[in-house]
Structure 1
Amino acid sequence: MEGGERLLPKGFPRLKNDTFLRAARGEETEHTPVWCMRQAGRYLPEFRETRASQDFFATCQSPKLCCELTLQPLRRFPLDAAIIFSDILVVPQALGMEVVMVPGKGPTFTEPLKEVEDLLKLRQKVDVTAELGYVFQAITLTRHSLEGKVPLIGFSGAPWTLMSYMIEGGGSTTMAKAKSWLYRHPEASHRLLRLLADVIIDYLVGQVAAGAQDFALPYIQDIAQAVKSKLKEEALPLVPMIIFAKDAHYALRDLAHAGYEVVGLDWTIRPQEARAQIGKDVTLQGNLDPCALYAPKEKIGELVKKMLESFGTQRYIANLGHGLYPDMNPEHVGAFVEAVHAHSRHINKHS
């Protein structure tokens, strides 16, 4: 840990606000908990100031900076959860791939996977603690620094999401190169997805051991089962898990039975339809269109009220249907968070 003694992943402060965790487990809550995907981000001037002098992935590897960026939105807004500042591409880095952040373009792999033989360049056995220990240190430092204010969410990208980045060399709207691997090299694709899944399982278990209290993980059943099995084996807490898969309205029933406590929704599905497909035994999260935050504050309040009335205030976690955009006004983010608290308490009082 930079600049001081390394903190241990134990002796954490007592949790003062567990509304988010209770909602995730399906327990009754006094108000609907709320957090935002990408809540630590460029829409905050303090985030841009902290990040100004540091390379993006160097920031990800600094527990002290990750902690600071995680805490920044909580100083502004009465959020019910923190999510650790990191990036999904730290996993391909742990496998030995080089990723750089190119201004105006985004994350770029210097040598993406082109042929099946390129898989031999990847680490086949990853010591997750050695390669991703900086994430675990950031989680432990942040849990202590939160002083029990709210729970801390850890996360990972899905194997398919990571595979597509590793083959495309960066973000892609069509994922044509990655999809072509599935058809041209099915066996190699399975090998890569299995390798990624195995690393992700160890990575998530390590996050719980370091102090994460929940997961936002867009993946399938075997990861949920394997993580929970390992947590039991290692006598670690069985944290609730969230699955968020954008544009997956066609697979809601499958997601509901994938072993996750919470299903996150994007803005392309109506709350009533989602509840009808998923049933009452899984908590829903979402799903206001992020662009709604460009509206005037009064309009944001109206949209939040409608969303809460559609989902109901129980077995529900308020969020956007995707992450915050860099040009959003922090005051409008605050209006969203405060409207959730105000309207959910009002609805609960009169129900």
Structure 2
Amino acid sequence: MKPSYLLIAGLLATVTYGANASHFYANGISMNNIATIQDSILHTAMHTFDRVPAANLGDKKTMMPPTPEKSINELYGHFPMYGTMSIYGEYEEYEFAGRSGGDGKTPLLKNLQFTWQHYSDDVKLDNFGRADSRYDLAMTGITGGRTEFFDVITGWAAYAGFIDGKQSTSALQIDQHGGYAGIFSRFNLKHFNLSATINGGVLTNDADFALGSDNYTNMWAGAAANASINIILDDTFSLQPGVQVGYTWIESDSYASATGDDVSNSDLGVFEVAPALHAIKHIGSGWFGTAHVRYVAMMTDGGDLSVNATDFATLESDNFTEYGLSLEKTVGRLNLSGTLVRRDGGRDGWGGGLNVKYIF
């Protein structure tokens, strides 16, 4: 059915059902929110499992040979710290591994990490109106397996997490709970970076409205790749333009509503293109700051809604721009960072998060 006919059919259906029609769109709201949740998961995986921000300064992706260990007899009566001190990239030694690994024995990060994020947005949905969207993401993961093949350095990560969210309108409230898991791999060739990840998840939904409550489940699977290049301006400042491209398939759910209506939804496919620019700066004393701007464009296919064989208009969310600031510091074997995010456009609101890495 053509979009214009769908819109007319949706308007007629809304007139027919009156104010009681809003809960029919619950699954459409959930699927559009999953598309944004997936963007948050993918972007987080790309930029937390890659390296600490400091790793993109200078030439810090060079593999370093292990520091030779000396016996106690060789060290007795000498000052072994001179000439053997670990390089941490804070004194302009930008030709070395630096804080991308901490010292010569661990030239690239192997870590166990935990990330928590919260987002609160006002979402514009075409053919429906607005919805208030809030969700929390928690992610834990492990990185390892760093290897070097000629000039290419590779690494992998595995991650999993849970989701807690709430979508609401004046007549509808949707509580969401679920989890996800994925794997990640990256490749670095000098200043060029390529990362890729695949994942999947499940989300249960409880939609409450004046006439009752509907329950349904969504599952999804997706893959994405991110390509970027480090433009080294000086020993302490880098620009990193890049683009993230991905596709996510979201399984819909058809169910009998509490009102006795048969609600049918088709699956939703989401293709995403998100160009971005990151600026990374060594502020001093081991503090690093990162600023980024991203434009997130989502093209969708499917997600059609019908109730009792009557077609309704399909919900679609608009593109949005995201701005972010991060601050990072390594203390011993702990790497700590915090992020503040602003979104404008199809989603207006704020977000933020914390990341903790234990380096081993």
Q: Same fold (TM over 0.5)?
A: no
Q: Which has the higher strand share?
A: 2
Q: Which has the higher helix share?
A: 1
TM-score (norm 2): 0.28
Q: Which has the higher contact order (CA 8 A, sep 6+)?
A: 1
Bigger-Rg structure (1/2): 2
TM-score (norm 1): 0.28
